[in-house]
Structure formats: C-alpha cells, structure tokens
Amino acid sequence: MSYLASNGGIYLPEQVPALDRSKLKDLSTLPYWELCYQLLSEFIEEDYLNHSDFISKNFEDFDDPKEVIHVTKLQGGLKIAELYHGPTLAFKDIALSVVGSLVDSLLEKKKKKAIVLVATSGDTGSAAIHCVRKMVNADIIVLYPKGRCTQVQELQMSTVQSPNVHVFAAEGTSDDLDEITMAVTSDTAFAEEHGLMIFNSANIGRILAQVPMYFYTYYRLCSIDSMEPLEVIVPTGGCSSITAGTIAAKMGLPIKIVPCTNNNDVVTRCIQNADFSQGSHVHHTYASAMDIQSPYNMERIFYMFCDGDGDLVQDMMESFGSHGKSVIPSHVYASMKKVIPESYSANDEEILKTMKRCWDENSYAICPHTATGVSFHYAHSPTIQRVVLATASLVKFPDVSRACGIPMLSNPRVDALPQVSPQVPIMKEGDDWEALLRQKIIEITKQRSK
C-alpha cells in the first residue's frame, strides 16, 4: 500500500500479463468502466476489486460516465483523445477516481485508516482531493505553493468542503513541499502509526489505472483484427502515463509511444540519445504540470526492457540519483526504442504557436501540455495512425489562453466554482513546515479515536 519497495526501488507488477488475440478482441467492444475493471483484474486480485464501484461510482463525476474519453478528429489527420472530462478537468482524474475506491475497499478489509499526503503545484492536488473526498477510510492533507498554481487550480483545491480534506497554502515552491512530505513519510515509524500514503505519480495504483486509457483509445481508432499499429503521442512529466503505455504495449496492444516534453527535456534526451541526465534546474514553463527534472518512473520503464536484470536498473538509478546522470546500456536502449521510438521537446514559444495554429485551423482549443504533443504532430507527418493524448482542458489555464490570443472559453465546472477562495491556513516563510505537518497528522489521528 505504500509506494516504496523496501530495497529502495519502486514497485512494478511481478509480471506483465500478455493478452492473446482473442482476449484483445473481446475487450475491444467494452464500455470504459468494464474495460477498466477487466484490465485491472489482470493485476489485482478480484477480491479487492469491487465491480459495482466501476459501474456506478468511479466515473460518476465525469461529464459522461459512459464515455470517459472522447476522441476528436481534426484537420490534417490530427486526432485527439480528450482525457480531461473528469471533475477537475485534467487526466489525473481518470486514474485517481479508480485508485480512491480501490484503496478505500482495501482499508475497509484491513480495518485500517489512512492519511494521504500530497504536495502539488497543480493538477494532482485537486484530483486527489476529489477522490479522497469520497473515501470513508482516509483523510487527505494537501500542501500547495501559494501563488504558483493557476487561480482555477487554487479554487479547485481550496473550495472543497469536506471534513476529511485539509488544505494548506505554503509560501514556497513545490520542491520545498516535496521535501517535507518526503521527510515525514520516510520516518517509517511515524508513517506506519498514522497510515501515511502518497498518491503522487510514482503510485503504482495510479499507473495501472492508466493502462485502460491506452486500450480504450486504441479501440476507438484502430482495428484489432489486423493488429493495426497506433502511434500515441503523450505529453510527459513524471512519466506515469508513458509507464502505463509501456505496460499496455507489453500486454500486446500494438502501440508505439512518443513522449513529448517542454523545456524540461530529460525524457526526450533519454529517448533520442540514450542520455538519462538531469538539466541544471527546473524550468518554469506554460506546461507547468510537466516541469519535472526527476522522472523517477523511468526506472519502471527501464525495468521492463532489461530482461529482469533488476541490479542493472538499480545501478542506473543510483547513478542518476547521486550524479544526476546515467548511461543506458545499449541492449536496454535497443529494446526500449522498439516501443518508444522517438520523443520531442517543445519550448514555450512553440507551445503558444501550436495552440494558436490548432485554434486557427480547427476552432479547437488545446492546453499547453497537449500542445507539446501536437507540436510533434506539426513537425512530423504521420506514417501510421496517430493520436495525441490531451491531458487537460485549456479553461484551467486562462493566462496561457490570453498569451496566445485564444478567446476565453467557459466551462460549467469552472463557472460553478466560488469566485473567492475561502480562508486556507498558510504555512509562512520561516515557520517549521515539517512540524506543522506532523502536528496536523497527529491531530487527525487523535480526532478519529474519539
């Protein structure tokens, strides 16, 4: 239930099950929730999967619970899989809505309670709040960097009124916040005592719950009878999505994955040059949810291409951790390239240009993250079927919308938000944030035992 393996590595399913042709065919006509249930049951004991949650609960807050992902076809062979029709208008809803009920029933069975900790600069916080809000056996504490999220994101986090949701605004960066949540969760005795959990992009449940996105999108566009290949262009930050895509490919789905990054291009250099190395610092870009220089999920991807040589991957990650770089052995690189043949990085200028072009040609608005993927499409004509994953709605990023001259769009979910943030407790500069966090955790546990 925690996310760290005891040897310091991160969890992966022991074996990625390969699905045969007839199974792939059987799955192709299922509605999203059933497809999701069936695929997860390949990894998780059915005892822990509550079928009725998939039918009526997990996706109830989506625009259309039956059509969780919408596929749109635009000019010039551009196809977009819209993953942002959940309650917080970003693709993290897709996985977290499933993880919430999964963890809740696990806690119920074990008669345990948990406290979910999230440090966030953007989409994870609101999506995690919306998922934990519905949980019976968990509380959530979210720390967000004051003034560094968009107003919509801030409102999405601060306006949820629920006794198990606790939000703090801190006068620091998300890296500072990461550090204190790490410090608190790595105190194992304390973490154990209070049932601390992390729902960040390293959470294995979140990754598995993204695998169905790839299957569903494939089935909307391609014929499984001929095993038609599909190129999936994926805006990438912490790499949870491309890890899920790699798992889908290993299961037998005929897809190629093209990760796209912003100026934080660790993954792009890794795929293009076998150079897995950090840049000097995190660049702040329009695609802020992808402002990451430590894509630790790459460990899982390397593992899936190393023929089970866990020691090799451990060495690579240790070198990345301590020197900020690591060389990918040629056999690992070669097999990785078969599934992830290329990658692309778009800077802020290109992001704006692409958003504008897509708007002008199609009257269709894409968010800055999605624009990294569409930039790849504009730079390279497709040779096989191609789809770009759209990871958020532009309405969450009005400033970027303004910067590139796309008219401000409205959305009922945003319109429904209160216009002013309620009072959120602030962690001030100079306060001992770690002590404040520990105090809140202890308070929650105490409250429960009353």
Ligand X SMILES: *Cc1c(COP(=O)(O)O)cnc(C)c1O
Q: Which residues are near ligand X by CB under 6 A? A: 90, 92, 123, 201, 235-241, 289-290, 369, 391-392
- Based on CB atoms, which residue is closest to ligand X, 195 or 373? 373
Minimum separation from the CB atom of position 295 to ligand X (A): 7
Of 289, 290, 293, the closest CA to residue 279 belongs to: 293
- Based on CB atoms, which residue is closest to ligand X, 160 or 239? 239
- Based on CB atoms, which residue is closest to ligand X, 198 or 441? 198
Minimum separation from the CB atom of position 267 to ligand X (A): 8
- Based on CB atoms, which residue is closest to ligand X, 197 or 239? 239
The number of beta carbons lying within 10 Å of the beta carbon of residue 325 is 14
Minimum separation from the CB atom of position 395 to ligand X (A): 12
- Based on CB atoms, which residue is closest to ligand X, 201 or 375? 201
CA 396 – CA 88 distance, rounded (Å): 9
CB 142 within 8 A of CB 424: no
CA 313 – CA 328 distance, rounded (Å): 9
Minimum separation from the CB atom of position 22 to ligand X (A): 31
Minimum separation from the CB atom of position 10 to ligand X (A): 14
- Based on CB atoms, which residue is closest to ligand X, 38 or 241? 241
CA distances from 95 to 32, 201, 205, 208, 419 (A): 12, 10, 8, 8, 28
178: CB partners within 8 A, 6+ apart: 119
Minimum separation from the CB atom of position 108 to ligand X (A): 28
Minimum separation from the CB atom of position 450 to ligand X (A): 37
324: CB partners within 8 A, 6+ apart: 277, 278
- Based on CB atoms, which residue is closest to ligand X, 58 or 124? 124
Of 14, 101, 107, the closest CA to residue 52 belongs to: 101
CA 423 – CA 245 distance, rounded (Å): 40
Minimum separation from the CB atom of position 419 to ligand X (A): 24
- Based on CB atoms, which residue is closest to ligand X, 212 or 235? 235
* Alpha helices, H only, 188-264: 188-194, 204-208, 211-221, 240-250
Residue with tokens 């199974």: 23
Sign of CA dihedral 69, 342, 199, 129: negative
CA 311 – CA 332 distance, rounded (Å): 13
Backbone angle region of 34, left / alpha / beta, with phi > 0 → left and psi within -120 to 50 → alpha = alpha
